[in-house]
Structure 1
């Protein structure tokens, strides 16, 4: 059963190249399938081009989902990166 969490992007430039790369790399370190959802679109969080294609601005609510053997750890890890990078809360 998948787990998910919604976060609000607070970085004034939104999800741009550097934080997107950090998120994709973190997601890639887990076995679980991971997605990021914004504005009705759900994209593989392990795809840098996919994440960048969403064009997520400051103030956006995004939902991070994980589904797989390490889903709880994966979700917590990615949300922690979002917070530690100052990307969102």
Structure 2
């Protein structure tokens, strides 16, 4: 199962708008994606409530994992998204 670790760039972390944008992108990825916080808790990345429940802040490292065909491409695009300050768009 491919994995990527990325530092969250959004100035407020994965809260409200950034979490929503991320969860929508994960849902459109076409493969199941898991988001794991630095504390070790994992959730379905396509679940806005799951993402919000992790309380991920700015600068926190998270791990993304995906299974299936095109998992690497899906992870690459989600890593790029998390590496962007989603509050400034």
Q: Give the paired residue count.
A: 85
Query: How far did 1:43 drift?
Result: 0.5
Q: Unmatched 5+ residue regions in structure 1?
A: none
Higher strand proportion (structure 1 or 2):
1
CA displacement 1:51-70 (0-9 Å, x = unmatched): 00000012211001111112
Q: Unmatched 5+ residue regions in structure 2?
A: none
SS at match of 1:15: coil
Give distance in 2, aligned partners of 1:23 and 1:34: 11
Instruction: Please report the TM-score for the alignment, with normalisation by the length of structure 2.
Output: 0.86
4+ runs of 1 displaced by more than 4 Å? Answer: none
RMSD, aligned α-carbons:
1.3
